[in-house]
């Protein structure tokens, strides 16, 4: 009998759970787990957490303090269930502020330390703006590992490699969303999927030039996108798609494989080169801005919830 697709995927790719749902993490036994403001909001709204959220809100100095306390508490619970990394995101409000991102990253790690979770278990998740990438560069030089998210373009990927970040999260599904909106009748199945093509381009470039940055495909719309990237360093997958992979059998073909690195690496991009290349990419420009806005919308919902609980 053929093995299920999830088991086969785990044999060639590190599977990461894209959720704050502890039950889902227990069920699918991923190596790592990622969170973001939207997932933290979902996790925080579980009924059994309400009393604890109220206590956190009342104990906090302000709403920012409460937000970080909630994120770290959920991240700490996740860290007990996975052997690898837990990604915890710096507020999207700081996406264009390097110094504030650095301060918030240090604060998050101090909170984790108080919960007994060492820094080497945490990936500080930062938006792939120029300012976010500069912050990540500094954090990596301090020995703090980072996950650069909301990544939609090759220019962002190259800047992240130049900065020596630990991991990038190129978004597959949101790239597909943009192209489908532009060309609703086009066939984007399989290898025609522009999000899949983007990850493959980045993966081949990294491996071909010896960059150590981990490529972790994210934001999947269907399991076809996942299987088209089998063999990628890591893939972070929602519980719904993990269940689909677990239920389906058949032979899963490895689609990405590392190649021998070339000796010559490209010159690092200047800020001007980065901004020009990024600006030339309408999809990436639009999706990064939209992604930051969406994360902030969910963060504001959590802020409102915490404020209400604080004042009860």
User: Could you give the CA distance from residue 69 to residue 62 in angstroms, rounded to a whole number?
Assistant: 11
- How sure is the predictor about 128, in pLDDT bands with cuts at 50, 70 and 90? very high
Average pLDDT, the chain: 94
Instruction: Give me the pLDDT at residue 117, please.
Output: 98
pLDDT tens, position by position, 227-280: 999 999 999 999 999 999 999 999 999 999 988 666 677 889 999 999 999 999
- Among 10, 125, 180, 294, the one annotated catalytic: 125
Look up 180 and say whether it is catalytic.
no
User: For the chain, which residues make up each domain, given as ranges?
Assistant: 5-310
Specify whether the CB–CB gap between 57 and 307 falls below 8 A.
Answer: yes
**Within 142-184, where are the H helices?**
154-163, 173-182
Instruction: Give me the pLDDT at residue 266, please.
Output: 84
Specify whether the CB–CB gap between 168 and 128 falls below 8 A.
Answer: yes
User: Could you give the CA distance from residue 123 to residue 145 in angstroms, rounded to a whole number?
Assistant: 5
User: Could you give the CA distance from residue 230 to residue 215 in angstroms, rounded to a whole number?
Assistant: 12
% of the chain at pLDDT higher than 70:
98
Instruction: Give me the pLDDT at residue 101, please.
Output: 98
Q: Which CATH number fits domain 5-310: 3.10.20.30, 3.40.50.150, 2.40.37.10, 3.20.20.70?
A: 3.20.20.70
- The residue with greater pLDDT, 197 or 261, is 197
């Amino acid at each position: 009998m053929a093995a299920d697709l999830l088991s086969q995927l785990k044999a060639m790719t590190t599977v990461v759970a894209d959720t704050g749902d502890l039950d889902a993490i227990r069920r699918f036994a991923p190596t790592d787990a990622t969170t973001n403001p939207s997932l933290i909001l979902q996790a925080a709204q579980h009924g059994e957490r309400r009393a604890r959220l109220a206590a956190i809100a009342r104990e906090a100095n302000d709403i920012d303090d409460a937000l970080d306390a909630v994120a770290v508490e959920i991240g700490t619970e996740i860290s007990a269930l996975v052997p690898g990394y837990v990604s915890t995101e710096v507020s999207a409000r700081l996406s264009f502020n390097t110094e504030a991102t650095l301060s918030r990253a240090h604060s998050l790690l101090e909170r984790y330390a108080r919960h007994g979770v060492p820094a080497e278990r945490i990936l500080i998740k930062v938006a792939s703006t120029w300012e976010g990438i500069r912050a990540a560069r500094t954090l990596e030089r301090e020995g703090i590992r980072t996950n650069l998210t909301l990544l939609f373009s090759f220019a962002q990927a190259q800047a992240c490699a130049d900065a020596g970040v630990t991991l990038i999260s190129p978004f597959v599904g949101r790239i597909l969303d943009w192209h489908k909106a532009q060309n609703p009748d086009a066939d984007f199945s399989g290898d025609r999927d522009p999000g899949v093509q983007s990850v493959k381009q980045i993966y081949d470039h990294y491996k071909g030039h010896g960059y150590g940055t981990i490529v972790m495909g994210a934001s999947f719309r269907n399991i076809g996108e996942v299987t088209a990237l089998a063999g990628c360093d890591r893939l972070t997958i929602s519980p719904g798609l993990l269940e689909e992979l677990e239920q389906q059998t058949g032979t899963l073909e490895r689609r990405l494989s590392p190649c021998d690195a070339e000796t010559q690496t490209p010159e690092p991009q200047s800020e001007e080169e980065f901004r020009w290349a990024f600006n030339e990419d309408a999809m990436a420009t639009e999706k990064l801005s939209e992604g930051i806005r969406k994360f902030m919308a969910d963060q504001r919902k959590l802020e409102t919830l915490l404020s209400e609980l604080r004042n009860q």
